[in-house]
Amino acid sequence: MKSFIQYSADTHFPIQNLPYGIFKPKPDGMPRAGVAIGDFILDLSVLEDKGMLKNSSSEKNLFNRSSLNLFMSRDKNVWKEIRSRLQSLLDENNPELRDNKELRQEAFIPMSDAIMCKPVEIGDYTDFYSSREHATNVGIMFRGKENALMPNWLHLPVGYHGRSSSIVISGTDIIRPKGQMKPADAETPVFGASKLMDFELEMGFFIGKGNELGTSISVEEAEEHIFGMVIVNDWSARDIQAWEYVPLGPFLGKNFATSISPWVVTLDALEPFRCSGPKPEFEPLPYLRSKGNKAFDIKLDVFIEAHGWPEPYKVSHSNFKFLYWSMAQQLAHHTVNGCNIQTGDLLASGTISGDTKESRGSMLELTWRGAEPIKLPNGEERKFINDGDTVIMSAYCEGDGYKIGFGEVSGKILPAKQ
């Protein structure tokens, strides 16, 4: 499959991808939906207005909106119809859009001439803890090797409810949070700016169609409810978190900011990259048993960039397939008690780490709680994230001569407010 739109072989956005996002044409355009193709955004509101995106939905205005929520709430068949139609319109052999110069000028926006917006109106946010390697590393640091994993961890996808109001789009600066901390040599806590700012390398998925209160979504049908995925950086203030997390878990150490990438990649685009995940140590209870491959081979990179550096420095290389609990299992567990999931809800994986030091998904693990600082090419060291540092995360699948990418999510740490 090839498009008449020219792009490089290593683009994240070939015709095989077509992720959805919300953008505003510069300088002051109104938000609307688009798909990424090479270095361009195809304005879906223009195609919709021209009657070129007919589908089985009764809704006539899916894309001239400031969020993807209405489109996401439609049946999965509608998602497939729109994706198939877009691939047909962009195909190099289809003259319908290719040869209509006036329409092309109206419908294609260079990415450099657009401002990306948060793609979804996010109602609720759940963060899981689904990487065995990450959970083990953190458990060893805080409880010792013998008690690294809690007794429930290998039997259910552990998670907690986060704060959706502080989820921000890539490129948003992050202000260093303040809170209570208890230094190791102190008898009582102190208040101030966090000294142990960290990133968490995660992926997240958006809910398309939800379920009614009192019903559940089975592990077999879970993917019918997953619209697509984004990169997630769930920022953490480790010193605040360490003092507060007993007995109810993360609070101020996590709820100050979570960054997401702007393009939502569909499961249809990821289908060629399905693979098996880790073999479970115990057979899950029936409601968590799934058939077939539920993991995806998505490569994950983390870079740190600081003022004056010639280029970002890669500190981690991990993979989504390392997760012990799949998205289908996470969603099935989330709803097994009758919890209603709604269109636009975001469910994140938790930090994704592998079994090598280079594949650890947080500074907490990479530097082993600061005891093993990262040595940078210019001679500097990092135990955690400094003011002025920008953290950049990238995610992509590699096919035969093409990539299915997510672009990137970035955020710069600014000093705490006085």
**Can you state the percent helix, strand and coil of the chain, rounding each to 5?**
25, 30, 50
Q: CA-to-CA distance for 405 and 60, rounded, in angstroms?
A: 30
Strand partners, 260: 169, 232
Tokens 């989504």 correspond to: 320
Q: How far apart are CA 326 and CA 289, in angstroms?
A: 11
CA distances from 400 to 1, 11, 316 (A): 12, 13, 24
**398 vs 392: CA distance, rounded Å:** 19
Positions marked active-site: 134
Say how far apart CA 162 and CA 235 lie, in whole Å. 12
CA distance 228 to 203: 11
Cα 228 to Cα 69, 224, 332, 347, distances in angstroms? 12, 11, 17, 11
- Count other Cβ atoms within 10 Å, centred on residue 135: 21
Distance, in Å, from the CA atom of 279 to the CA atom of 274, rounded to the nearest integer, reads 15
Q: Cβ atoms within 10 A of the Cβ of 160, count? A: 16
Please answer whether residues 408 and 261 qualify as being in contact, where contact means their C-beta atoms are separated by less than 8 angstroms: yes
What DSSP character marks residue 285?
Answer: P
d(CA 307, CA 389): 7
Q: Which helix (H) or strand (E) holds 86?
A: helix 76-90
Kindly state the tokens that stand for 321.
């397939």
E strand spans, 130-262:
159-161, 167-169, 174-175, 178-181, 190-193, 197-198, 201-207, 226-233, 236-237, 258-260
